[in-house]
Amino acid sequence: MTIRMRTAHTADLTPADLRAVRVLLDAAFAGDLTDQDFEHGLGGVHALLADEDGLVAHGSVVMRRVRHRGRWLRVGYVEGVGVRPDARRRGYGGQVMAELERIVDHAYDVGLLGASDDGARLYTARGWRLWGGRISALGPDGIVHLPEEEDSTYVRAALAGPLDLDAELLFDWRDGDVL
């Protein structure tokens, strides 16, 4: 079986590519992916892994802004990492993450992502670390504390160098799930 990795910006994906990503992610997340969740993964670079049967795995990196210790960082935020259910436990998620990590490491100050309990195993095995500090977002009405995100936000240091993992992160705002 031949597996092909392709990276492409959202602008370079065809409507058929985007439909294939949505179908894959709907299956990977067992129908628990909202339209806003899907949109959060657009506008950046996608890693698409395919075989003869179509798309096997996907993930994307989009730019976000996060304030850490008074400095606004350019963040490569990982979104929409999923593997087709019939192709799990074959290393495909790791292959997608390796490509996304390459992008994060060379283009952003830091990498961040929000993980489910199942997804956290993949990320921690790859060296991502759980953020230990307060998580907030700069909302339309000011700063909003997001305590539900404090046990599921993971970081990968990139160009910014060492980070204080116990400091507050203040995310930019977006509709739907902020993280």
pLDDT in tens, 54-80: 999 999 999 999 999 999 999 999 999
Query: Is 14 part of a structural domain of the chain?
Result: yes
Cα–Cα distance, 95 to 97 (Å, whole number): 5
Query: Is 131 part of a structural domain of the chain?
Result: yes
How high is the pLDDT of residue 175?
Answer: 82
Instruction: Count how many domains the chain has.
Output: 1
Question: Which residue, 109, 94, 128, is CA-closest to 63?
Answer: 109
How high is the pLDDT of residue 161?
Answer: 66
How high is the pLDDT of residue 160?
Answer: 57
Regions in the chain scoring below 50 on pLDDT: none
How high is the pLDDT of residue 119?
Answer: 86
Query: Is 178 part of a structural domain of the chain?
Result: no
Query: Is 63 part of a structural domain of the chain?
Result: yes
Cβ pair 5, 48 in contact under 8 A? yes
The amino acid that residue 58 corresponds to is: H
Token pair listed for 27: 């299956």
Residue with tokens 């092909």: 4
Q: For 86-176, where are the alpha helices, taking DSSP H only?
A: 92-107, 117-125
Query: Is 87 part of a structural domain of the chain?
Result: yes
Q: For the chain, where are the alpha helices, taking DSSP H only?
A: 15-28, 35-40, 92-107, 117-125
Q: Tell me which residue range forms the domain holding 121.
A: 4-171
Cβ pair 138, 174 in contact under 8 A? no
Domain CATH code at residue 47: 3.40.630.30
Query: Is 144 part of a structural domain of the chain?
Result: yes
Query: Is 136 part of a structural domain of the chain?
Result: yes
What radius of gyration, in Å, describes the C-alpha atoms of the chain?
A: 16
The amino acid that residue 33 corresponds to is: L
How high is the pLDDT of residue 159?
Answer: 58
pTM: 0.94
The amino acid that residue 133 corresponds to is: G
Secondary structure letter of residue 87 according to DSSP = G
